[in-house]
Structure 1
Amino acid sequence: MSGKADPRHAGDGSTSRTRLDRGRAALGPALELVHTGRAPTRAVLTAELGVTRATAGAVAAELEALGLIRVDARPGAAAGSQGRPSHKLAVADDGPVALAAQVHADGFRAALVGLGGRIVATAPGCEVVDADPAKVLASVVTAGAELLRETGLRCVGAGLAVPSAVAEPEGLALNPLHLAWPAGAPVRDIFAEQVRAAGIDGPAFAANDVNLAALAEHRHGAGRGARDLLCVATGHRGVGGALVLDGRLHRGSSGLALEVGHLTVHPEGRPCHCGSRGCLDVETDPLAFLTEAGREPGPEVSLLQQSIDLIRHHYDDPAVRTAAEAIVDRLGLGLAGLVNILNPDRIILGGLHRTLLDADPARLRAVVADRSLWGQSGGVPILPCTLDHNSLVGAAELAWQPVLDDPLGALTARG
């Protein structure tokens, strides 16, 4: 597979090579199983892949030789267990990383993310977003390049999360309204150009931040194990949604699926930038909550953080509680409509919506159950997102995907 001499294979002759050739197609699936925590041991890997133990061992050994995973050949047996314990598998702590970048209304951040969704290093965030996307992306890539220099880690590629629908195949940010960027900015090409200029190896990708949050949660967080996963989140401004079907993001015909922010939940409500009124985007985001609670947003802390702090520390204030209940009712109405259309087997909520769920889970679940057909028939689990930086982790998943598809090809092609 790698073509390099490996002392572990010496003496096996053609038998070892035959096993490796037979298992080459299993490298990607095997790496994804370890990456997502679904194969903690070689025995589980063997069962999940449906191969022989010898083939699974050869596959695990090759992934270890590529520097992607660790194989513990001498794990301690559990107390009371019988027989030889299976080799333990884990992602390599010192393995390659992906450069992840996120831009939102209140700043941007860069990080290095390894396999397993593990954030290895982060750069200090910036709180000023220029109206020129090229300037912003140059700054965030420069921060990421500095992290790579400091750590000395190999980079497999770069991913960018933006608070906008990203049209495919062009990679255009169609509606980055809260960033003051021009509509249709070619963010993927700009990002890729900055990545190349910084001397960073690997391909560059860009996608909507909530799509990427859903992908990260599905692989490493609250959405793990769901077949049809709906994610709805409000970050610093606006509301986004995403759907993961059978492990893959549902992007629609041109990358624009699940613009849930423009579902009407309050017909006589606030005017929305889309031209309608009372959309989720303007009725359930942090600005809507602060306005409903009669609080004047301050410039010193992001709208999201102000809203979260208000709920966590002042929920006993009648004005705050009443505002939270109003937002929950509107959110529940929107989720009920989505349940009727999509019939997901799990819903996860991020950003302010996660905090609202934590504050009053019974109320939100009751609204969804009462207003949706499938909710009435049994209920859809509604859970909070569990990853603190899921959009960053999701951006890294974009860069990791070519490696997951073909570990040997992706890594050896770049030396």
Structure 2
Amino acid sequence: MRGKAASGAGGQTAGEAEGSARSPRLERGRGALGPALELVHTGRAPTRAVLTAELGVTRATAGAVAAELEALGLIRIDAKPSAAAGSQGRPSHRLSLAEDGPVALAAQVHSDGYRAALVGLGGRIVATTPGCEIIDPDPARVLGSVVDAGARLLRETGRHCVGAGLAVPSAVAEPEGTALNPLHLAWPAGAPVREIFAERVREAGIDRPAFAANDVNLAALAEHRHGAGRGARDLLCVATGHRGVGGALVLDGRLHTGSSGLALEVGHLTVNPEGRPCYCGSRGCLDVETDPLALLDAAGREPGPDGSLLHQARELIAGSLDDPKVRMATEALIDRLGLGLAGLVNILNPDRIILGGLHRALLDADPNRLRAVVADRSLWGRSGGVPILACTLDHNSLVGAAELAWQPVLDDPLSGLAPA
């Protein structure tokens, strides 16, 4: 039986006395731990002075909150930063994310393969596996393989894992966590991907929460927090995956998924009524008119046996725009994409549009043409112009999958890091 700890003044144990010495400020600020961590996580609080202002607390309370986050191994405090040239006074303590801190296991599955990664706070990819180009029609086998790959990374790095997130190229129904239309994976409709993923995570010895969501939704979340969408209030993201087209919307700083997770299925917006048959039963949808296969077909190029369709389409634009047929195909896709974006702008009135996958390459190929189509067809585009930017994060769906796993920690660092 353990003996009692030595008592301090007033009958307190030594630990209690130490805690009471720092508890008033920390207890007042404990509810600010999550908001403070999110501010540092998204780069909005690089110093203690900024953190104090953003939280609306005293400098002492902000200091106690930052010290607690450092004690949890999440951030680092530089109490003696060098002053900028010409500045006066003592510079504020600098706050940065702990480079050796915990990570989330992120996984992405697409029509050309899968990849696993470990992602720290700030959206920083710590380690990643090579992309695998084999997809099995059985989701349990694929998810088992990608989780095993992620578990190997955890063993090799020795990092603590806060949870796991999965990005899939399908609408994911809530609250069931089922992939309703994994059209390009040959998986059965309604596959319980979240349940399967969580089971594989547990079987790998990772006793942490597991999540799953649509890949473009997760790309938008990552870009909003760490990339081209940072600072936008109402952000529209449209992107091609390796096949098909997806969309996502961040409203007032929060990802909008609708009543059951199925919002922004923009791939089935008609942009060419006499166009290609779509998997949904319609014709001329954005999904089949502006994806990598559509570009290769329009340019008269057969898809190669090696490498992803997305990579082949990007390479075609990057290296062959002087070919009249490739230029014509690229312009046709730009016009159809612009038509779809204009319709979305009229409905959603976003303050920024970001494009990913092949759409990013289309924007780079002729930004003026795309913006002109959107402005000409959009009521709001004509009056003010909506900025159209390229996504900037590598593997943004993986980073977004990690954001799912990090969210419980951002909500409540003490509970989120506690053993499951």
Q: Within 2, Cα distance between the matches of 1:14 and 1:84? A: 30
| Aligned pairs, number | 406
Residue 291 of structure 1 pairs with residue 291 of structure 2: no
Change (3 A) 1:85 1:301: same
- Whether contact under 8 Å (1:156, 1:201) holds in the other structure is no
Give the partner amino acid of 1:349. Answer: L
Match of 1:391 in 2: 397
Residue 195 of structure 1: how far off its partner (Å): 0.1
**Cα root mean square deviation, aligned:** 1.2
Name segments (4+ residues, structure 1) moved above 2 Å.
9-16
Identity of aligned residues (%): 84
Q: Within 2, Cα distance between the matches of 1:400 and 1:384? A: 25
Match of 2:336 in 1: 330
Give the partner amino acid of 2:400. Answer: G
Match of 2:36 in 1: 30
Residue 87 of structure 1 pairs with residue 118 of structure 2: no
- Whether contact under 8 Å (1:111, 1:122) holds in the other structure is yes
Residue 16 of structure 1: how far off its partner (Å): 2.3
List per-residue Cα deviations over 1:41-90 (Å, max 9, x = no partner). 11110111111000000000000000000111110111111111001101
List per-residue Cα deviations over 1:316-352 (Å, max 9, x = no partner). 1111111000000000000000000000000000000
Q: Alignment partner of 1:110: what SS?
A: strand
Q: Within 2, Cα distance between the matches of 1:290 and 1:19? A: 62
- Whether contact under 8 Å (1:99, 1:396) holds in the other structure is yes
Give the partner amino acid of 1:352. Answer: L
Residue 10 of structure 1: how far off its partner (Å): 11
Q: Within 2, Cα distance between the matches of 1:265 and 1:410? A: 45
Match of 1:73 in 2: 79
Match of 2:5 in 1: none
Q: Within 1, Cα distance between the matches of 2:103 and 2:114? A: 19
Residue 126 of structure 1: how far off its partner (Å): 1.0
Match of 1:56 in 2: 62
Unaligned runs of 5+ in 2: 1-14
Q: Within 1, Cα distance between the matches of 2:103 and 2:358? A: 29
Q: Within 2, Cα distance between the matches of 1:312 and 1:296? A: 17
Task: Indicate the structure (1 or 2) with the bigger Cα radius of gyration.
Answer: 2
Structure 1 counterpart of 2:170, from 161, 164, 170: 164
Residue 201 of structure 1: how far off its partner (Å): 2.9
Residue 245 of structure 1 pairs with residue 215 of structure 2: no
Q: Within 1, Cα distance between the matches of 2:208 and 2:293? A: 38
Q: Within 2, Cα distance between the matches of 1:12 and 1:370? A: 67
Residue 174 of structure 1 pairs with residue 190 of structure 2: no
Residue 265 of structure 1 pairs with residue 271 of structure 2: yes
- Whether contact under 8 Å (1:339, 1:374) holds in the other structure is yes
Structure 1 counterpart of 2:373, from 367, 372, 377: 367
Residue 376 of structure 1: how far off its partner (Å): 0.7
Residue 154 of structure 1 pairs with residue 160 of structure 2: yes
Q: Within 2, Cα distance between the matches of 1:235 and 1:164? A: 11
Match of 1:301 in 2: 307
Structure 1 counterpart of 2:352, from 341, 346, 351: 346
Residue 260 of structure 1: how far off its partner (Å): 0.1
Match of 1:5 in 2: none
Q: Within 1, Cα distance between the matches of 2:20 and 2:132? A: 56
Q: Within 2, Cα distance between the matches of 1:284 and 1:146? A: 37
Q: Within 1, Cα distance between the matches of 2:78 and 2:69? A: 13
State the TM-score, normalized to the length of structure 1: 0.96
Structure 2 counterpart of 1:377, from 376, 383, 390: 383
Match of 2:4 in 1: none
Match of 1:216 in 2: 222
Change (3 A) 1:248 1:310: same
How does 1:187-202 map onto structure 2 within 5 Å? 187-202=193-208
Match of 1:19 in 2: 25
Residue 412 of structure 1: how far off its partner (Å): 2.6
Give the partner amino acid of 1:289. Answer: L
Residue 392 of structure 1: how far off its partner (Å): 0.2
Unaligned runs of 5+ in 1: 1-8
Match of 2:12 in 1: none
Q: Within 1, Cα distance between the matches of 2:93 and 2:407? A: 26
Q: Within 2, Cα distance between the matches of 1:225 and 1:11? A: 44
Residue 403 of structure 1 pairs with residue 391 of structure 2: no
